Amino acid sequence: MTLALLSALASSGSVFGTEVSTTPLGTGEVSVFTFDGGVKIHNFNTKDVMEDNAFVVESKTGLVAVESLAFKKDFPFWGDYLKKLGKPLQAVLISNHPNNAAAWAGDAPVYVSEEAWKAMHSGSTKGIMTGLSKAYGPDFDTALPAAPKMLSLGEHVFEGVRIDVRTDGDGNEFLFPDLKATYIHMMGSECHSIVGGAAHADALIGQLEALKKEGVTLLFTSHWQPEGVKAMDEKIAYLRALKATATNARSKDEFIAAMKKAYPKYQGEHYLDMTAGFFFPMKK
């Protein structure tokens, strides 16, 4: 990464921290963001087929992890990396990736909101996980946490770090107001997104616009590298174009072809196929 990542963040014109460094891990890499006051965010980009990411916030006293990883092969690398930080892992916050965090987090307590927990058992999250497990086989982890603690919406403090837990579809957005950073499940300025229809596109646009107004300058997701304000603007433009394309297209195939023509370099075509299914559920 990281010339590309550093360039993207710098072009946003925002102050996202005091230092960024990277180190290889497994088949991917960890990017470390150091903020004023010494707080760090370690973001693990596994560089797998789904471009999976997870991260941990490091304060002076301990660690708080956000989300798990998709493939079991990455668990030992992440677990070993966190142990080498030399601080206790005090919490794992999960939203859209209900994996067996204990495989890399040990006995650290897992927190999940009631809304997200229901989606993991009988909602959209369960459906997506079932489909992905069929596509990727046994290395794709579908094990739910054994006994998670319920996480309420609103502000919490973990290891001295403020985290505002917000609803985000069937999952949660985690805002770190003092770091001007946030986590949402998917974005990716150069990647197609799973969009469940026009209303969902509008909700995503509103979410990104609101984050910009709140002063967020660094955005973490589960399926793309960390990005800055410029990337948020690019995704907003993409979502508006996607809605217009869906309105004008006469079929699912026409919609997909038009989006590929408009965004020829975008990754995640399987996400585009899923989006097309939402906009054209009865068409081929």
DSSP class per residue in 62-96: -EEEE---SBGGGHHHHHHHHHHTTS-EEEEE-SS
The SS3 of residue 123 is coil
CB neighbour list of residue 204: distance below 8 Å, 6 or more residues apart: 193, 195, 235, 239
Residue 18: predicted pLDDT:
53
Residue 77: predicted pLDDT:
97
Contact criterion met (CB below 8 Å) for 192 and 204? no
Residue 24: predicted pLDDT:
96
Low-confidence ranges of the chain (pLDDT < 50): 1-4, 6-8, 10-16, 283-284
List pLDDT tens digits, range 118-151.
999 888 888 888 888 888 899 998 888 888 999 9
Cα-Cα end-to-end distance for the chain: 38
List pLDDT tens digits, range 200-245.
999 999 999 999 999 999 999 998 889 999 999 999 999 999 999 9
The SS3 of residue 144 is coil
Residue 99: predicted pLDDT:
76
